[in-house]
């Protein structure tokens, strides 16, 4: 019993200092620490944080909470100052995107007036009420992951249709985020899927579509017969150096063809010196960003709609921050699901009923 209490109190204390360090970064922009803490603690105690829920639970003024979200727009840049202090060694950048369904958004009005709530859904292959987010996380040399941002974007097609004009395209944002990161971190690799091939060109690990044309086969290992192989899909399992086109130029990449549940995956690196196992290991680290997407959603990203882009962006960024705090807490407790974390909190609060008040008192909710 005593051990559990100590564990819980220590954890709460650590979370408080983690949250306060982040809140300090945004203080000068008028982001209230109290509102920030409310969002985080709601997520830890109950799960899905939203403006409505924190105002009900902690007596936060609804309008003020919305304003705070707006002030968090673009603050991922500021947040990198803190990450830079915490992560010293080389990092891998993982880039992906996720579609957040917004079933409650009034599609027609929002699309025509604001363009915020229609996007292409990859899962259901159609335009739906929802928002596409660019997601970026850092993986450090010890395998620790740190979400950087979740930024709403518009596809070129939507922009051409005159919809979503408040948004940047994904490619614009990737350039900005990657340049920011390169300037501050020792970036050894950038990993993303084949849909994003045009986004970045240096130190890339990614995947080629199987119908991709091979311009020249420079070498193959093992020394298999590859005569007549014109497309990536013609290659059997193995390692290759091939030339492919990228835009108007020709590049040389190291390609690893590897069997994966029946079909073959074609993973490549623009750094020819990497071994096949290094390339595949980095490729597999993409799993971390899938986990991040799931976290964002189980922490309530899809529950709220906003008419203002700044608030939408702030809300998504806030959830990225919460995802990291939640993951850190889980790691310290040695548990693997968010549900278990809630159970732990619920259990401790049940035994030590006064702790919620201690937390509230500590963060001056009353
Ligand atoms: Zn869908």
pLDDT in tens, 317-341: 999 999 999 999 999 999 988 889 8
Contact 35, 71 (CB under 8 A): no
Q: How many angstroms separate the CA atoms of 66 and 56, rounded?
A: 14
Residue 169 CA to ligand 1 center (angstroms) comes to 20
List Cβ neighbours of 185 (8 Å cut-off, separation of 6 or more).
84, 87, 90, 91, 138
Of 175 and 126, the structure prediction assigns the larger pLDDT to 175
Q: Please report the pLDDT score of residue 366 as a whole number.
A: 30
Residue 233 CA to ligand 1 center (angstroms) comes to 29
Q: What is the mean pLDDT of residues 230-254?
A: 90
Residue 121 CA to ligand 1 center (angstroms) comes to 5
Name the 3-class secondary structure at 141.
coil
The structure's pTM equals 0.86
pLDDT beyond 60 at 166: yes
Residue 156 CA to ligand 1 center (angstroms) comes to 19
Contact 115, 154 (CB under 8 A): yes
Residue 129 CA to ligand 1 center (angstroms) comes to 8
Segment of 115-119, 248-252, 346-350 carrying the highest mean pLDDT:
248-252
Range of lowest pLDDT (116-130, 234-248, 292-306): 116-130
Q: Please report the pLDDT score of residue 93 as a whole number.
A: 95
Q: Please report the pLDDT score of residue 315 as a whole number.
A: 94
**What are the φ/ψ torsions at residue 293 (nearest 5 degrees)?**
-60, -45
Residue 165 has what DSSP assignment? T
Of 199 and 207, the structure prediction assigns the larger pLDDT to 207
Q: What is the mean pLDDT of residues 301-322?
A: 88
Residue 314 CA to ligand 1 center (angstroms) comes to 23
Q: Please report the pLDDT score of residue 6 as a whole number.
A: 81
Residue 44 CA to ligand 1 center (angstroms) comes to 28
Beta bridge partners of 258: 265
Nearest residue to 362 via CA among 21, 37, 24: 37
Q: Please report the pLDDT score of residue 227 as a whole number.
A: 75
Residue 127 CA to ligand 1 center (angstroms) comes to 8
Contact 304, 261 (CB under 8 A): no
Q: Please report the pLDDT score of residue 58 as a whole number.
A: 79
Q: Sign of the C-alpha dihedral, residues 125, 130, 132, 137?
A: negative
Query: Which tokens in the block code for residue 84?
Result: 């830079």
Q: What is the mean pLDDT of residues 230-259?
A: 91
pLDDT beyond 70 at 357: no
pLDDT beyond 70 at 347: yes
Residue 271 CA to ligand 1 center (angstroms) comes to 36
pLDDT beyond 50 at 114: no
List Cβ neighbours of 93 (8 Å cut-off, separation of 6 or more).
136, 137, 138, 178, 181, 187, 189, 190, 191
Residue 118 CA to ligand 1 center (angstroms) comes to 11
Residue 71 CA to ligand 1 center (angstroms) comes to 29
Q: Please report the pLDDT score of residue 125 as a whole number.
A: 83
| Helix, strand, coil share (%) of the chain residues, nearest 5 | 50, 25, 30
pLDDT beyond 80 at 190: yes
Over the chain, what is the mean pLDDT? 84
Beta bridge partners of 138: 93, 146
List Cβ neighbours of 152 (8 Å cut-off, separation of 6 or more).
116, 131, 132, 133, 167, 309, 312, 313, 316
Q: How many angstroms separate the CA atoms of 31 and 95, rounded?
A: 28
pLDDT beyond 70 at 164: no
As a whole number of Å, the end-to-end CA separation of the chain is 29
């Amino acid at each position: 019993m005593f051990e559990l209490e100590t564990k819980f109190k220590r954890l709460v204390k650590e979370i408080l200092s983690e949250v306060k360090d982040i809140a300090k970064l945004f203080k000068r922009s008028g982001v209230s620490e109290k509102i920030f803490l409310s969002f985080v603690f709601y997520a830890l105690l109950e799960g899905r944080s939203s403006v409505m829920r924190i105002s009900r639970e902690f007596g936060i003024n609804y309008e003020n909470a919305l304003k705070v979200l707006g002030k968090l727009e673009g603050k991922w840049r500021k947040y990198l100052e803190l990450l830079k202090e915490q992560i010293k060694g080389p990092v891998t950048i993982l880039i992906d995107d996720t579609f957040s369904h917004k079933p409650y958004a009034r599609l027609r009005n929002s699309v025509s007036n604001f363009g915020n709530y229609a996007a292409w859904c990859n899962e259901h292959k159609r335009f739906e009420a929802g928002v596409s987010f660019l997601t970026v996380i850092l993986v450090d040399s010890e395998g620790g992951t740190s979400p950087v941002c979740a930024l709403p974007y518009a596809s070129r097609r939507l922009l051409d249709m005159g919809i979503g004009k408040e948004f940047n395209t994904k490619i614009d944002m990737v350039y900005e985020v990657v340049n920011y990161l390169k300037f501050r971190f020792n970036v050894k690799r950038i990993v993303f899927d084949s849909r994003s091939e045009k986004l970045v060109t240096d130190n890339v690990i990614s995947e080629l579509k199987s119908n991709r044309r091979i311009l020249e086969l420079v070498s193959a290992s093992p020394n298999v017969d590859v005569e007549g192989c014109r497309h990536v899909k013609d290659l059997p399992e193995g390692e290759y150096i091939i030339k492919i086109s990228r835009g108007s130029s020709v590049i040389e990449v190291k390609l690893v063809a590897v069997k994966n549940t029946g079909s073959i995956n074609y993973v490549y690196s623009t750094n020819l010196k990497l071994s096949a196992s290094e390339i595949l290991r980095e490729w597999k680290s993409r799993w971390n960003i899938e986990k991040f997407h799931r976290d964002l959603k189980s922490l309530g990203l899809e529950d709220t709609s906003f008419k203002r882009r700044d608030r939408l962006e702030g809300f998504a960024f806030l959830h990225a921050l919460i995802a990291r705090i939640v993951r850190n807490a889980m790691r310290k407790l040695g548990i693997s699901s968010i549900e278990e974390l809630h159970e732990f909190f619920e259990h401790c609060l049940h035994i030590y009923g006064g702790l919620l008040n201690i937390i509230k008192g500590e963060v001056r909710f009353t």
